A = this chain, B = another copy of it.
Amino acid sequence: MASAPKANAVVSQSGGPTGVINASLVGVIEEAKKHPEIQNLYGAIHAVSGVVKENFIDLKKISSDELEIVATSPSSALGSSRDKPDAEYCQKILDVFKKRDIRYFFYIGGNDSANTCYIINNMAIKAGYELRAFHVPKTIDNDLLVTDHCPGFGTAAKFVSCAVMGDDLDNRALPGIKIDVIMGRHAGFLTAAAALGKQRDDDGPHLVYLPERPVSMDKFLSDVEAVYKKLGRCVIAVSEGIGDVDHKTWAEKIAANAEHDAHGNVQLSGTGALADFLASQIKASLKIKRVRADTFGYLQRSFAGLQSATDVSEARRCGVEAVKLSMTNLNGSVAMKRIGSGKNYAVELFRTELANVAEKTKSLADEYINKEGNGITQAFVDYAMPLTGGLPKTGYLGNKPRI
């Protein structure tokens, strides 16, 4: 292994923002300052597009006070991008790296970002240009391989569980059916997190529908009816990616119907379409009057002032670790291994190959989903609860004995 080169570094953030991607950024910055091998530390604005345009800022000039505020702010403080660089794009990135003597590349993002690291790293190797390329994981979807969980998920899970806890109490106060549509098209982790805050036997969400378990409309309606008959109310957490038993997602089906409608109904592909569709099915079939629906939207990934302390700390450590690894490795992706559970929950960090993470996705394990396919198991609670940093206790009095 060649010793770490004395050269410049670039760090950037890609894909959908999260509540802690800035903590990872600050982790990279604070650790980079400790290594004289890293000369200038460039922040590329709007991810790889900022690299190509040489849209750089000097991250060593930001004061510690400002960095601490950044570390606790949601969204991507350097801006982001949805660009998925092809070979030509990557070549342009490499050209800028050569021009600016950038030999360290830290990319905070999901599996696409790991792939970009991988491609650029291979290009550099072929070109005989020494480049150290590291991926720092982030995603609220929690769907990256190898790592136990992803920075960003714990904070989003805290938001979703606090939202559904409040919503369930609201539904107790004014009973009826409530549908909450939650992010995560392909993996059900965030939707499953809706059930983490359950504290009483009859707390909602009473039904949880995940992309991993397709459900027919008949089954959905009979599930809802059974809960409603028992409790007089029902709170339902639904992934935006739930599908029918024919493996088409409900969202696709609704959109397809809209397309077949010659009268151009754009609303059927609107922001509340899935929630409204499910609500209308319940109203029509079960004749229940009070049916309400919300679609949580962007608040799940960028909400100011609500973070999981555990998530913030781990995200920062992942940023630090990437820089440490770059001193003794040519490339890699940072991953977390769980080394304790419950009150002894802790993680240790390790390096995995970029190729292990690039473009791959993970689904919710079978052990985390109940047999019926409409709820989660205690194993999921044990897995996910520590990541939220703990949830607030709630009180309810309506179930006290009558006098």
Contact = CB atoms under 8 A, between A and B. Distances in A.
Given A265-B267, A396-B77, A298 B304 contact: no
B402 A56 contact: yes
A366 interface: no
B403 A302 contact: no
Contact of A273 (B61, B272, B279, B400): B272
Interface residues of A, number: 87
A82 interface: yes
Interface in A336-351: none
Interface in A260-301: 261, 263, 265-268, 270-273, 275-277, 279-280, 292-299, 301
Contact of A272 (B45, B169, B276, B396): B276
Contacts of A66: 395
Contact of A42 (B172, B263, B273, B403): B403
A55 B402 CA distance: 6
A1 interface: no
A57 interface: yes
B292 A294 contact: no
Given A169-B302, A265-B265, 6 more contacts: A13-B173, A73-B169, A73-B392, A78-B398, A165-B305, A272-B273
20 contacts: A56-B402, A62-B400, A66-B395, A70-B396, A73-B394, A74-B169, A74-B394, A75-B172, A76-B169, A76-B173, A79-B173, A162-B305, A162-B306, A165-B304, A169-B302, A261-B263, A266-B280, A271-B275, A294-B299, A304-B392
